[in-house]
């Protein structure tokens, strides 16, 4: 990231950046409290520009909005933390015989790998090997969930390999001071399975699935918790 | 401009009449309270529609975007948290973003005339639509915009009211992109200080 990244607060607040720049700057905002504070202030400032432009809206707009609102279901309260919901097309499948699904996931995995490769080529290669190992297992399984804004999480798993890979794609940032934490969940308890690395695109390897029925994701205070303190925002059956 | 017709409920605002608390309304809306949503609509729609109209320009499309924005506020009210800013700011952020998305998407941007941006500079407030912003709010903003350098002011106005990317602003003003970025930031900071926005 270049040296004048902090100078982007103004353009960011005014929505004068490209989608790619926005995503990158939002990543920066999670790590730079000075910019985050400045963004809050400049947003309030921009709001004053907006208020000064207020006009009387067309009267029919009110009825139209109220009618539509009567038909739109609200996000559940847990979305107060993060806007992730199962979407209608959530799918889970065994790999064998589901070529289309495999292609989708491989494409998404490659995307994640490319992002990751910026950090280290060795890491990317190791990860590709891990993915190949899981996918070549007879009991390989893929599940995917996403939200309407395009954020999604894909889980590749295999019991015989005893390993799962969690691949986040464009996931919204957790609330300030929080992390996404993964859990392996069996009939007795949820066991900590690691924190999702920061950034909307991230990969987490989970070894030792044990007798877990599913993998869950919760939002926990920075650094994670010994046991889940909130309900999972996502659950993936390992079946 | 200040003595345009205003709706009766807005007329008294300059006398420090307290507005309904947007944050509280949003929290009620998050619990599915439709009456609270009606109040929220009345509180927000004037400024939101004003901004959308400025950026989108086309009246029919502005109405569509305004509808989308209000429905999104209803749907995602539970995501609002007061410590991140006022309800108005949260809503305005959604509205400006949606309006900008609309004009940037495909055709719309290409169809706009080259010189529209320049013309906007001479009239930062819409003189066609009926104003509901209070005279005090407008005067403050106008005065504070006046404390900016010309390049700062033009950049901020083109980006905010014109929905232009900083690249487009750079082209319109024939100025290097790095300079535009810093002018946008410096301009907003100067506005923040002039308007007395609390940190
Ligand atoms: Zn910074």
pLDDT tens string A11-31: 999 999 999 999 999 999 999
Residues of A in contact with B183 (CB under 8 A): 10
Q: How far is the CA of A39 from the centre of ligand 1 (A)?
A: 10
A113 and A17 in a common domain:
no
Which chain A residues have a beta carbon less than 8 Å from that of B132? Answer: 54-56
Please indicate, yes or no, if residue A69 is contained in any of the structural domains. no
For position A126, what pLDDT does the model report?
72
Distance CA B131, CA B171 (A): 31
CA-nearest of A165, A170, A168, A169 to A127 is: A165
Q: Please name every residue paired with A191 in a beta bridge, in sequence order, or none if there are none.
A: A184
Query: Which of B10, B84, B160 has the highest number of chain A CBs within 10 A, making it the mutation to test binding with A?
Result: B160
Across the interface, whether the CB atoms of A61 and B71 are under 8 A apart is answered: no
Per-residue three-class SS string for B50-106: HHHHHHHCCHHHHHHHHHHHHHHHHHCHHHCCHHHCCHHHHHHHHHHHHHHHHHHCC
Give the integer Cα–Cα distance in Å for A142 and A91. 8
The answer, yes or no, to whether residue A3 has pLDDT greater than 80, is no
Question: Do A132 and A209 have their domain in common?
Answer: yes
Q: Is the dihedral of CA B73, A75, B97, A49 positive or negative?
A: positive
Question: ∠ CA A218-A157-A210 to the nearest 5 degrees?
Answer: 75
pLDDT tens digits for A87-127?
Answer: 333 445 544 445 555 556 666 666 665 555 555 656 666 77
Contact of A147 with A129, CB cutoff 8 Å: no
Cross-chain CB nearest to B78 (options A4, A68, A74): A74
Split into its structural domains, chain A has a count of 2
**Could you tell me if residue A66 is inside a domain?**
no
Residues whose CB falls within 8 Å of the CB of residue A63, separated by 6 or more in sequence, listed in order:
none
Please, which residues have CB within 8 angstroms of residue B32's CB and are 6 or more apart in sequence? A74
Query: At residue A83, does pLDDT exceed 60?
Result: no
Which tens digit of pLDDT belongs to each residue from B60-103? 999 999 999 999 999 999 989 888 789 999 999 999 999 999 99
Q: B18: distance to nearest CA of chain A, Å?
A: 16
> Nearest C-alpha of chain A: how many angstroms from B114?
18
> Is B23 an 8 Å CB contact of chain A?
no
Question: Tell me, what's the pLDDT at B133?
Answer: 67
ipTM of the complex: 0.83
Interface probe for A, chosen from B192, B195, B196 (most Cβ of A below 10 Å), is B192
Pick from A40, A64, A76: CB nearest B67:
A64
Q: List domains and CATH numbers for chain B.
A: 15-108 (1.10.1740.10), 123-195 (1.10.10.10)
My answer on whether A26 and A97 are in the same domain is no
Confidence of residue A77 (pLDDT cuts 50, 70, 90): low
Closest-CA distance of chain B to residue A95, Å: 35
Residue B163: the pLDDT is 95
* Short-list B130, B38, B19, CA closest to A61: B38
Average pLDDT (A203-222) is: 80
Same domain, A102 and A192: yes
Range in A71-80, A149-158, A190-199 with the lowest mean pLDDT: A71-80
A105 in the same domain as A222? yes
Contacts of B199 in chain A (CB under 8 A): 37, 40-41
Query: Residue A217 phi/psi, 5° resolution?
Result: -125, 130
**How much of chain A exceeds pLDDT 90, in percent?**
27
- A123 & A176 share domain: yes
Q: Is residue A203 part of a domain?
A: yes
B 108-147 residues inside an 8 A Cβ radius of A: 125-126, 129-133, 137-138, 140-142
**Is B72 an interface residue toward A (CB < 8 Å)?**
no
The residue assigned the tokens 């407030």 is B125
Based on the fold, state whether residues A26 and A94 are members of the same structural domain: no
Please indicate, yes or no, whether residues A123 and A25 belong to a single structural domain of this protein: no
Buried b (16+ CB within 10 A) or exposed e, B1-29: eeeeebeeebeebeeeeeeeebeebbbbb
Nearest CA to B136 out of B8, B16, B9 is that of: B16
In a domain, A221, yes or no: yes
CATH number at A51 reads: 1.10.10
Same domain, A222 and A128: yes
Q: A23-66 pLDDT, tens per residue? A: 999 999 999 999 999 999 999 999 999 999 999 999 999 999 99
- CA pair distance A189, A148, nearest whole angstrom: 31
Are A108 and A209 in a shared domain?
yes
> Chain B contacts of A41, Cβ < 8 Å?
192, 197, 199
CA B187 to ligand 1 center in whole angstroms: 18
Structure token digits, residue B163: 């929905």
Contact A225, A233 (CB under 8 A): no
pTM beyond cutoff 0.90: no
- End-to-end Cα, chain B, rounded Å: 31
Residue A16: which domain range?
3-55
Residue A199, pLDDT above cutoff 70: yes
Residue B78, φ and ψ in degrees, nearest 5: -65, -15
Residue A26 with chain B: CB contacts under 8 Å: none
Facing residue for B67 by CB, picked from A9, A11, A61: A61
> Is A183 among the domain residues?
yes
Cα distance between residue A231 and residue A82, in whole Å: 12
Say what the pLDDT of residue B145 is. 96
Within a domain: residue A65?
A: no
In terms of domains, do A30 and A143 share one? no
Q: CB burial class (10 A; 0-12, 13-18, 19+) of residue B45?
A: buried
The chain-wide mean pLDDT, for chain A, equals 77
Residue A41 belongs to a domain: yes
Q: Give the separation between CA B43 and CA B48, rounded to whole angstroms.
A: 10
Residues (pLDDT < 50) of chain B are 1-17, 106-108, 114-115, 117-119, 122, 127-128
Q: Please indicate, yes or no, if residue A120 is contained in any of the structural domains.
A: yes
Q: Is the pLDDT of residue A133 over 50?
A: yes
Q: What is the pLDDT of residue B12?
A: 40
* A138, A172: one domain: yes
């Amino acid at each position: 990231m270049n040296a004048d990244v902090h100078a982007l607060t103004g353009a960011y607040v005014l929505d004068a950046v490209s989608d790619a720049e926005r995503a990158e700057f939002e990543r920066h905002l999670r790590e730079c409290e000075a910019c985050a504070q400045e963004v809050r202030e400049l947003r309030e400032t921009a709001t004053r520009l907006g208020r000064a432009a207020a006009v009387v809206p067309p009267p029919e707009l009110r009825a139209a909005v109220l009618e539509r609102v009567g038909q739109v279901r609200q996000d559940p309260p847990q979305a107060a933390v993060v806007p992730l919901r199962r979407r209608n097309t959530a799918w889970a499948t065994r790999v064998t015989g589901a070529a289309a699904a495999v292609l989708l996931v491989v494409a998404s995995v490659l995307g994640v790998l490319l992002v990751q490769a910026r950090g280290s080529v060795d890491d990317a290669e190791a990860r590709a090997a891990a993915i190949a190992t899981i996918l070549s297992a007879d009991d390989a399984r893929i599940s995917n969930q996403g939200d309407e804004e395009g954020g999604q999480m894909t889980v590749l798993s295999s019991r015989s390999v005893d390993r799962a890979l969690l691949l986040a794609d464009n996931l919204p940032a957790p609330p300030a001071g929080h992390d996404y934490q993964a859990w392996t969940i069996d009939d007795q308890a949820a066991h900590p399975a690691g924190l999702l690395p920061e950034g909307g695109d991230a990969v987490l390897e989970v070894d030792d699935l044990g007798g877990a029925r599913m993998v869950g994701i919760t939002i926990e205070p920075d650094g994670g918790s010994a046991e889940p303190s909130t309900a999972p925002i996502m659950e993936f059956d390992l079946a | 401009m200040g003595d345009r017709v205003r709706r009766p409920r807005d007329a008294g605002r300059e006398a420090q009449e307290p507005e309904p608390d947007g944050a509280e309304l949003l929290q009620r809306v998050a619990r599915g309270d439709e009456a609270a949503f009606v109040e929220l609509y009345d509180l927000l729609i004037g400024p939101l529609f004003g901004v959308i109209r400025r950026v989108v320009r086309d009246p029919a499309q502005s109405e569509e975007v305004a509808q989308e924005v209000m429905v999104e506020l209803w749907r995602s009210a539970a995501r609002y948290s007061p410590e991140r800013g006022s309800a108005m700011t949260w809503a305005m952020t959604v509205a400006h973003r949606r309006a900008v998305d609309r004009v940037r998407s495909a055709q719309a941007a290409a169809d706009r005339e080259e010189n529209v941006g320049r013309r906007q500079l001479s009239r930062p407030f819409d003189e066609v639509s009926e104003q509901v912003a209070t005279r005090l709010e407008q005067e403050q903003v106008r005065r504070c915009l006046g404390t900016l350098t010309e390049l700062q002011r033009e950049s901020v106005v083109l980006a905010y009211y014109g929905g232009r990317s900083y690249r487009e602003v750079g082209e319109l003003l024939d100025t290097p992109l790095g300079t535009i970025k810093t002018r946008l930031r410096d301009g907003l900071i100067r506005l923040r200080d002039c308007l007395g926005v609390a940190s």
